[in-house]
Amino acid sequence: MGKIEGQKPRVVLVPFPYQGHITPMLQLGSILNSRGFSITVAHTEFNSPNPLDHPEFVFLPLPDNLSGCETSYISSLKGISAMNVNSKERFHEYMVEMLEKQPQNGLVSCIVYDNLMHFVNEVATHLKLPTVVLRPNSAAYLRSLQFIIQLQADNLIPLPEHQLQDAIPTHHLLRFKDLPFPVTAEIPKILIEFFTSYANIRSSSAIILNTADILDHESLTKLQQHFKVPIFPVGPLQKMAPKFNTSLITEDTSSITWLDKQAPNSVLYISIGSIAIMDKKELIEMAWGLANSDQPFLWVVRPSSVSGSEWIECLPEGFEEITRERGCIVKWAPQKKVLAHPAVGGFWSHSGWNSTLESMCEGVPMICRPYFSDQVVNTRYLTHVWKVALELNSLERKGIEQAIRALMGDKEGKEMRQKALKMKQELELSIQRGGSSWNSFENLVEFIASFTQ
Ligand code: UDP
C-alpha cells in the first residue's frame, strides 16, 4: 500500500497497566512521536493513562472486564490471563479499522507491546503486522528468568540451601540467592509457565530495553547471542523523553515545598513503589529506625501498602511528635522531581527498575529493601556491581538506624554518593549524540521506519 506524502507512520503501543510498565511505554511513545511517528495507545480500562496528559497521542480503551476486581486479583496470574483474554477481540477490531483507514491516516509501522500483553502477538500475527517487545526491566533480570527456566529444565530445583551463596556459573555477577524467585523450594508449574511466557518474545522483530549499555553490558551481550532479533538498549528513557506526567496516582506536590525548606543532601526519601506491600511490624520498625536516626525524611506511604491498614493509622504512638520537625509523610510524591531536588541525599527504595534508574540519573545513593522479582536482581547490581547502594540486612529498628546513618553520614555513604554522581554523568553521556543509548535509539527509529518503506 502506498504512502501518502506528509502522513506520519503510526506506532501502536500496548502497555501493561502498572505504573512501572506504563511509564516507560509512554516515554518511549513521546520520543518516537518527536521523531516523526504518530502514536496510538491501546490500554486497559484498569489503570488507564490520562489522555489529557498526552494530547498528541490517540487513546483506544480496551474493555478488560476487570472493574470491581481487587487489585491483588488483577496482578495475579489469573488476572493477567483474564486481561489478555478480555482485551483481545476489541484490539483486533481496532487494528482492522486502523488498517482499513490506511493510507489516509498514516501507515501502521508496527505494534510495540509489553510482553505481559501477549494477546497482541496473536492479533498481529493474524493481521501480518510486525511487533516489537518493550521490556521495562534490566537485561540482567531477563537473563535471570532464563536461568530459572534452565534450572527447572535440568531438574535442579529445589536447590540445596548451601548453594545459595554460590555465583551462577553463566551469570557470575549474580548468586543463586539473587534470582528473582527462591529456588530452594519447588516452583509451581504455573509459575514456570509464566516465567517462560514472560521471557519469550514470540514472533517479535526486535526487543527494546529500558536500560543502558554501561549498566547491563554483559547481559546485553549474552541476550544478543540468545535472541536472534535486534536488541535496542535505549534507556534511561526518562532522561530522553520530554517531561510530562505519567503518574496514575495524584502526586502530592507539598512534598516539594517541604523539601525546599531542607538543607542540601540532608533528606532521606523513602518509597516502595506502586505494588509492594509491607506488614505492620515492618512499618513500625521503619518508623523507629527513622526516628532514632535523627535524619530528615520524606516518606511515601501508599494507601493500602501496609497490610491490614488503610494508611498510617498503625504508626507507633509518639512517632509523629518526635519527627514532626524533620519528617514529611505523603501518599504519593512526584518522585522524579523529588530525586532531582538538592535536599535529597539518599533514597530508601524497593529497587524497582524505574526507581533504580531514576535514582541513578540524579546521582542519589540508595538503601535497598527488595521485596520480590526483579527488585532482588537490581539490588545485587546496585550494591555489588555499580556500588551505589547498600542493602538493608535487618528489618529491626537498630539495623535500620545503622543503615540510614551509614548512607547519609558515613564515609561509606560518601563513597557511594561519589559513585552515584559518576554514574549520573555516564548515563547523561550515554543519551547524548554519539552515546550508546542515543545510537541505539537512532537505530531503533531506522528499524521501525523500515517497516513502512
Ligand atoms: N513513583 C512516583 N511517586 C511515588 C512513588 C513512586 O511517581 O510516590 C513512581 C516512580 O517514579 C517510578 C514508579 O512509580 O517511576 C515505580 O516504578 P518501579 O519500577 O520503581 O516500581 P514498581 O512500582 O513497578 O514496583
DSSP string of 81-137? HHHHHHHHHHHHHHHHHHHHTTTTT--EEEEEEETT-THHHHHHHHHT--EEEEE-S
Q: Of ligand 1's atoms, which has the minimum distance to the CA of residue 247?
A: 7
Bond into 365 cis (ω within 30): no
Residue 222's alpha-carbon distances to 114, 171, 219, 225, in angstroms, are 21, 9, 5, 5
Distance CA 22, CA 38 (A): 18
| Of 243 and 414, the one with more pLDDT | 414
Ligand 1 pocket: which of 258, 274, 336, 362 to mutate (most atoms <8 Å of CB)?
274
Q: Which atom of ligand 1 is nearest to the CA of 353?
A: 19
The three cell numbers locating residue 205 = 522483530
Question: Which residue is closest in CA terms to ligand 1's atom 21?
Answer: 352
- DSSP H or E segment with residue 217: helix 213-226
- CA-238 nearest atom, ligand 1: 15
3 state SS of 233: strand
Tell me the per-residue pLDDT of 275-312, one tens digit each, with 9 for 90 and over.
999 999 999 999 999 999 999 999 999 999 999 999 99
Question: Per residue in 4-28, pLDDT tens?
Answer: 556 899 999 999 999 999 999 999 9
Q: Tell me, in angstroms, the distance from the centre of ligand 1 to residue 108's CA.
A: 31
pLDDT in tens, 76-124: 899 999 999 999 999 999 999 999 998 887 899 999 999 999 999 999 9
* Cα angle 153-123-100, degrees, rounded to a multiple of 5: 165
* Beta strand extents in 247-302 (DSSP E only): 267-271, 297-300
Please tell me the distance from the alpha carbon of residue 287 to that of residue 90, in angstroms, as a whole number: 47
Q: How far is CA 111 from CA 107, 119, 167, 205, 440, in A?
A: 12, 12, 38, 10, 19
All three cell numbers of 304, joined, read: 493500602
Question: From the CA of 16, how far away is ligand 1's center (Å)?
Answer: 14
pLDDT value at 3 more than 80: no
Query: Cβ < 6 Å from ligand 1: which residues?
Result: 18-20, 23, 247, 271, 273-276, 300, 332-333, 335-336, 352-355, 358
Whether complex ipTM tops 0.95: yes
How many angstroms does the Cα of residue 397 sit away from the middle of ligand 1?
25
pLDDT of residue 76: 87
- Atom index in ligand 1 nearest the CA of residue 21 equals 24
**What tens digit of pLDDT does each residue of 321-376 get?**
999 999 999 999 999 999 999 999 999 999 999 999 999 999 999 999 999 999 99
Residue 1 above 50 pLDDT?
no
Cell matching residue 372? 520480590
The one-letter amino acid at 83: M
* Distance separating alpha carbons of residues 427 and 425, to the nearest angstrom: 5
Atom of ligand 1 nearest to the CA of 351: 20
What spacing in Å lies between the alpha carbon of 241 and ligand 1's midpoint? 17
Q: Among 116, 252, 335, 371, which is best to mutate for testing ligand 1, by the most ligand atoms less than 8 A from CB?
A: 335
Strand, helix or coil at 187? coil
Q: How far is the CA of 139 from the centre of ligand 1 (A)?
A: 19
- Alpha-carbon distance 204 to 421, whole Å? 36
- Cα separation, 14 vs 5, in Å, equals 27
Taking the centre of ligand 1 as the mean of its atom positions, its distance from the CA of residue 244, in whole angstroms, is 15
Ligand 1 atom closest to Cα of residue 271 = 5
Please state, in angstroms and rounded to a whole number, the distance separating the CA atoms of residues 384 and 364.
16
Output the nine-digit C-alpha cell for 301. 506511604
